[in-house]
Structure 1
């Protein structure tokens, strides 16, 4: 269900506590499947309908059994038992919808997308992993904006997203992360390394220097 084709994301998953790892994998799988909507939809109205379906399906998990959909079943079985609600997760599709509904992706729209996608995902993952005194919303927003920067075709917009991401990631990574949240900290480090590479240049996934940096975070929380 969760793609491990990206060696760094596969590595990061091993940083999560074993007994809660499936929750993190389910949330990442949810984000992956939602990411496919704007990538594969040419008609905005159709994309909006697909995201509304996901929002409603996630919200319904609070009161009904999941349908025969692998990601929803994983969320229901592995995430909601950690006091995360389907209604909260239902905000993540609304974040992706910003990219479909907004013709001019200005700073306000980018921040709204980052809040609904990144902050909600990281806050929910943090709760599922056991919580901690870390600015997860900032880390999540920076992570989402860095990902956006690397996937926008318009250079001005990509540079704007990267500029918004950097201070958020810097502030979030200025703290020592507790062991149970270091998978999320590693995701934030990956986002910052991607930005350091340059939003318009290919990333050398699994390069020794990148893996070493992630390993240092796992050991020290820095």
Structure 2
């Protein structure tokens, strides 16, 4: 139940967040990695079985575990739950944010499309934006910083989601309520606007390591807005050199 185990889980399941966490100060890593490992574990559960009931049960296990953590009960010796409990207790992470993240992942179990744009927006807010807010709050962000931090997390989550559209489609999902190029471009523009709003806000530097996990958002969303056909083609990603250089540049300059 060590931090190293959480790091291994994040490295395998969420390379971007892993790189951003390893670029953070050591103290911040001890906060970020358990939260990110929790996110990886929850995100993978809807795909572990073709039987929806099994996936639902696994997600419910996490909801029950979060409830026990919130009540101050001792949790089982679990590779992620135990380190997560320490972060939650030491850093006063709100349990409702983490619980909402788990509930949102129920959508991934089934093949039904999002009912409308608002449903997709809520999904990204509960998952990526919620995780970003929980991480930033754990690092010392003030409560009044939530709107701007959620904007940043939402934009980053949308960028990641758009890069995943081809894989989701291949797995039989319908990831976008409206996959027409004009609608995709408009969605990307919304993400860019929220990212711009976040960058205009006064966000404390303590929260930067949490926000830096979305360092690729601007590039991805700009490409999707200018050429939405790149979304289903799976050609939004930059080169590996550019990906790593972008993080190094922002870290070196103290930006997110």
Q: Please report the TM-score for the alignment, with normalisation by the length of structure 1.
A: 0.83
1:4 alignment partner, one of 2, 11, 24 = 11
Quick one: distance in 1 between partners of 2:189 and 2:49? 27
1:23 alignment partner, one of 7, 31, 47 = 31
**Distance apart, 1:31 and its partner CA:** 0.9
Quick one: distance in 1 between partners of 2:247 and 2:210? 11
2:117 pairs with 1:99: no
Q: In the alignment, which residue of structure 2 is the partner of 1:172?
A: 198
Whether contact under 8 Å (1:7, 1:205) holds in the other structure is: no
Q: Deviations over 1:19-56 (max 9, x none)?
A: 23211011111111111122333233332222122112
Q: In the alignment, which residue of structure 2 is the partner of 1:129?
A: 139
2:216 pairs with 1:182: no
Q: Secondary structure at the match of 2:212?
A: helix
Q: In the alignment, which residue of structure 1 is the partner of 2:3?
A: none
Number of residue pairs matched?
221
2:122 alignment partner, one of 101, 104, 112 = 112
Structure 1 residues 25 and 101: alpha-carbon distance in aligned structure 2, compared to 1, 3 A threshold: same
Q: Secondary structure at the match of 1:68?
A: coil
Q: In the alignment, which residue of structure 2 is the partner of 1:143?
A: 156
Pairwise CA RMSD: 2.8
Q: Please report the TM-score for the alignment, with normalisation by the length of structure 2.
A: 0.73
Whether contact under 8 Å (2:42, 2:105) holds in the other structure is: yes
Whether contact under 8 Å (1:56, 1:90) holds in the other structure is: no
Q: Deviations over 1:48-72 (max 9, x none)?
A: 2221221121121022111121111
**Distance apart, 1:83 and its partner CA:** 0.9
Identify unmatched segments of 5+ residues in structure 1. none
Whether contact under 8 Å (1:16, 1:129) holds in the other structure is: no
Q: In the alignment, which residue of structure 1 is the partner of 2:249?
A: 216
Quick one: distance in 2 between partners of 1:129 and 1:203? 29
Quick one: distance in 2 between partners of 1:19 and 1:156? 38
Structure 1 residues 35 and 213: alpha-carbon distance in aligned structure 2, compared to 1, 3 A threshold: same
Identify unmatched segments of 5+ residues in structure 2. 1-5, 224-229
**Distance apart, 1:9 and its partner CA:** 3.4
